[in-house]
Amino acid sequence: GAGVSQTPSNKVTEKGKYVELRCDPISGHTALYWYRQSLGQGPEFLIYFQGTGAADDSGLPNDRFFAVRPEGSVSTLKIQRTERGDSAVYLCASSLTPGAGYEQFFGPGTRLTVL
Amino acid sequence: QQPVQSPQAVILREGEDAVINCSSSKALYSVHWYRQKHGEAPVFLMILLKGGEQKGHDKISASFNEKKQQSSLYLTASQLSYSGTYFCGTVGSSNTGKLIFGQGTTLQVKP
């Protein structure tokens, strides 16, 4: 079956612009996670959803970052007034259900470059 | 608190063994191990749960010492395909999947 997909694969934008990153999880997976990975670092947790609701958004760095999952499937990560420090690979993952014992399947990521 | 992985990097010849360690300062409910190749997504390897249950790859083994808040990943008879960066991700309670990843261990297997 299809894995987690993310679009676009690459996004180049200018400082101050708004961007949206999309994640399409594995069908039937109720939990969806967003992570951010900088070069040479491990993925950094941003937010996760159970169904349509954000269960934990403690990793969002500031109020310029926002994510939605209106129908409990596709999710969009939105970044306002982008800054050069936002440049990173944004990874999405999904799991059958949220919980410590469930493997997360990662998408290929969106590489965001803020000029 | 980010778990600490050691070593940071290791170089092996095919057929040699390696151990990668992951240590946390906080109580853990589970430890997840992933391998990531350059430019690709992390790929799931193993989950170790509090209480001893394990799920994952049949050619890779791991241990989880709950009291010491440590986990180790054992790669035996390494193959060229084992090359990549290994990450441990820790979970602090049973009702969340929020993973806190270590900084990674880069493994290079040479012929």
Question: What is the model's pLDDT at position A99?
Answer: 82
Arithmetic mean of pLDDT, B45-61: 80
Distance CA(B69)–CA(B63), nearest Å, equals 11
Q: How far is B89 from chain A (nearest CA, A)?
A: 9
Q: What is the pLDDT of residues B67-82, one digit of tens each?
A: 889 999 999 899 999 9
Separation of alpha carbons B98 and A95, rounded Å: 11
Of B6, B42, B45, which Cα lies nearest the Cα of B24? B6
Helix (H) or strand (E) holding A45: strand A44-50
Per-residue pLDDT of A8-57, as tens digits, reads 999 999 999 999 999 999 999 999 999 999 999 999 999 999 999 999 99
> A108 CB near a chain B CB, below 8 Å?
yes
Q: Which of A37, A90, A92 to mutate to test the interface with B (most CBs of B within 10 A)?
A: A37
| Residues B89-104: tens digit of each pLDDT | 999 888 888 999 999 9
Q: Locate the chain B residue with the closest alpha carbon to A110.
A: B41
Q: In this model, does residue A1 exceed pLDDT 60?
A: no
In percent, how much of chain B has pLDDT > 90?
72
Three-state helix/strand/coil letters over chain B: CCCEEECCEEEEECCCCEEEEEECCCCCCEEEEEEECCCCCCEEEEEEECCCCEEECCCCEEEEECCCCEEEEEECCCCHHHCEEEEEEEECCCCCCCCEECCCEEEEEEC
pLDDT band at B54 (very low <50, low <70, confident <90, very high): confident
- Name the band, by pLDDT with cuts 50, 70 and 90, for residue A100: confident
Residue B26 is encoded by which pair of tokens?
């906080």
Average pLDDT estimate for A87-109: 93
Asked whether the predicted pLDDT for residue A64 surpasses 70, the reply is yes
How many angstroms separate the CA atoms of B111 and B13, rounded? 6
How many angstroms away from the CA of B99 is the closest CA of chain A?
A: 7
